[in-house]
Amino acid sequence: MSELSVDHLLGIKYLKKEDIELIFQTADHFKEVINRPIKKVPSLRDVTIANLFFENSTRTRLSFELAEKRLSADVVNFSAASSSVKKGETLIDTVNNILSMKVDMVVMRHPNPGAGIFLSKHVNASIINAGDGAHEHPTQALLDSYSIREKLGEVAGKKVVIVGDILHSRVALSNIFALKLQGAEVKVCGPTTLIPKYITSLGVEVETNLRKALEWCDVANMLRVQHERMDISYFPSTREYVQLFGVNKAILDSLDKEIVVMHPGPINRGVEITSDVADSDQAIILDQVQNGVAVRMAVIYLLASKIKQL
Amino acid sequence: MSQKVLLTSKEMNIILHRLACQLVENHNNLENSVLIGIQPRGVYLAHRIEKILEEEYGLTGIKLGHLDITFYRDDFRRSDKPLEANKTRIDFVVEDKRVIFIDDVLYTGRSIRAALTAIQSFGRPKEIELLTLIDRRFSRHLPIQPDYNGRQVDAINEEKVKVNWQENEGEDAVYLISK
């Protein structure tokens, strides 16, 4: 296969296994490119991409922008804080205004789940979902799987536990879809209040004992506690959360195997993981960030190749 | 579809030796020169030339890289079938080196144009030369000519030149295929 089966990247749910393989193979090439003395290829010279961020982001936005620039695309940035959205413009109007300035592709982060899907039905451009509410964050899941593949050889058959705030996490949902699609086993672990009721319908198991989860897994993906999305109190105190679900070096060292620790960032040091874990050789957090650029280049390149020209 | 043999295994062997000989003539022991095989099909030729240089001329430490030009092509989003990338493997810097591009068939010259851009990502070479096994003359779209050439061929546009290699197709031969 040499072409994606989709025209937009709205979520992992819409991808096939072969799509993920193609993205990873392409990302391998781009990973080589971004480690060259000159880290840029001219493929997307004639493509213009708008990054629309209706919600704050540092890492994802920077990663997308670097990926676009390393493919030589023209980039325009937009953040909701300084836009006409504040003046009452609708999403479709905002995007159509931007598209009428001849933009080919839109990378969008939005606080509402399904915003990307809605947009893809109403505007004429290729859409990449960079996170829509608590729904999906497909490029993060792709780079997580890519990092597992790089570290452990393959994703199929690996045991992955996702720890933390599963309820508010788009990273968790996209990761579950991506990992299951590639044949990995997945467990989620966290306070029962932060685990969605019907999560087992996605084919994952729930484990509320962190130690048991860590003993079972090859990879632990530690999610951030998203205080900003919590309208009510889901656990008594941060201190209690740390004691029950925080990973420290002592727990890792007491396991009979060396597991891989991942974190999508930003880290709350001392909450999900302690500093000595984050900075240890078992953590591949900075590899994830580097792979993020290569994977996003691959996604943008493959989607751009489907926009037929002239 | 019919096919005609352009070069037999024996003829190819003679030509490969001549090309290697010409390289030595111009580049001595290749101390300051690097061979770059253009992906995908130029790589076979590059390794064959390397082998002759090592075995016949006793050269050691030849620098040989593979260059993939997919992301530098000028037909991205224009061709009907999607472009598939290959591996680039250049583990040396080409800064101030004499670079020899190696490709099996020179046709429109567009691949070489892309390669000229691509190689800049690895430094500023002192000079760049081009070695090809088959030169399809009269079909160039760009002002690009080979410095070392195996055989010139007059082929019309609908015809295809196919180079087979022992290590890939099980035989050394060049065919002219017409529809």
Alpha carbons B16 and B22: distance in angstroms, whole number: 10
Query: Does A1 score more than 70 pLDDT?
Result: no
pLDDT value, residue B63:
94
Supply the pTM of this predicted model.
Answer: 0.89
Could you give all domains of chain A from N- to C-terminal order, each with its CATH number?
A: 12-136+291-304 (3.40.50.1370), 138-289 (3.40.50.1370)
B79 in A contact zone (CB under 8 Å): no
Catalytic residue, candidates A31, A135, A137, A187: A137
Q: Would you place residue A310 in the very low, low, confident or very high pLDDT band (cuts 50, 70, 90)?
A: very low
Residue B168, phi then psi, degrees to nearest 5: -115, -55
Alpha carbons B176 and B161: distance in angstroms, whole number: 5
Query: Does A170 score more than 60 pLDDT?
Result: yes
The annotated binding site of A for carbamoyl phosphate is made up of 59-60, 109, 137, 140, 265-266
Quote the tokens at residue A62. 């920077």
* Complex ipTM tops 0.85: no
Q: Which helix (H) or strand (E) holds A296?
A: helix A285-304
Can you tell me the mean pLDDT for A24-51? 92
Cβ atoms B162, B136 nearer than 8 A? no
Alpha carbons A139 and A275: distance in angstroms, whole number: 26
Quote the tokens at residue B116. 């000229």
Indicate yes or no: CB of B71 within 8 angstroms of CB of A308: no
Cβ atoms A162, A186 nearer than 8 A? yes
Query: Does B78 score more than 80 pLDDT?
Result: no
Alpha carbons A75 and A69: distance in angstroms, whole number: 7
Alpha carbons B151 and A268: distance in angstroms, whole number: 66
Mutate: best of B68, B69, B72, B76, partner A, most A CBs <10 A: B76
| A chain contacts of residue B81, beta-carbon cutoff 8 Å | 2
Alpha carbons A73 and A103: distance in angstroms, whole number: 11
**Residue closest to A262 by CA, chosen among A238, A295, A286, A242:** A286
User: Is A87 noted as a catalytic residue in this protein?
Assistant: yes
| Bridge-based pairing state of the strands A48-53 and A185-189 | unpaired
Quote the tokens at residue A103. 């933009």
Residue A210, phi then psi, degrees to nearest 5: -60, -40
Can you tell me the mean pLDDT for A293-309? 91
Per-residue CA distances from A209 to A187, A214, A252, A272, B65 (Å): 11, 9, 15, 15, 52
Per-residue CA distances from B161 to A292, B137, B153, B158 (Å): 41, 12, 9, 10
The pLDDT tens digits for A54-105 are: 988 888 999 999 999 999 999 999 887 766 666 778 888 888 888 888 899 9
Distance of CA A219 to the CA centre of its chain: 16
- The SS3 of residue B18 is helix
Indicate yes or no: CB of B78 within 8 angstroms of CB of A309: yes
pLDDT value, residue A58:
84
Indicate yes or no: CB of B77 within 8 angstroms of CB of A305: yes
Alpha carbons A137 and A143: distance in angstroms, whole number: 11
Sign of CA dihedral A115, A120, A124, A130: positive
User: Is A109 noted as a catalytic residue in this protein?
Assistant: yes
Alpha carbons A148 and A155: distance in angstroms, whole number: 6
Shortest CB distance from A3 goes to which of B82, B88, B120?
A: B82
DSSP at A264: -
Indicate yes or no: CB of A38 within 8 angstroms of CB of B85: no
Cβ atoms B16, B53 nearer than 8 A? no
| A chain contacts of residue B82, beta-carbon cutoff 8 Å | 2-3, 305
Alpha carbons B70 and B40: distance in angstroms, whole number: 10
Alpha carbons A280 and A299: distance in angstroms, whole number: 30
Alpha carbons A294 and A221: distance in angstroms, whole number: 20
Within 66-95 of A, beta carbons closer than 8 Å to B belong to 71
Can you tell me the mean pLDDT for A285-300? 96
- Lowest-confidence region among A222-236, B37-51, B141-155: A222-236
What does pLDDT average to over chain A?
92
Q: Would you place residue A29 in the very low, low, confident or very high pLDDT band (cuts 50, 70, 90)?
A: very high
Cβ atoms B30, B58 nearer than 8 A? no
Residue of A nearest to B74 (CA): A43
Residue A117, phi then psi, degrees to nearest 5: -65, -45
Cis peptide before A266 (omega within 30 of 0): yes
Per-residue CA distances from B79 to A25, A305, B75, B83, B166 (Å): 21, 10, 6, 8, 30
Could you give all domains of chain B from N- to C-terminal order, each with its CATH number?
A: 8-158 (3.40.50.2020)
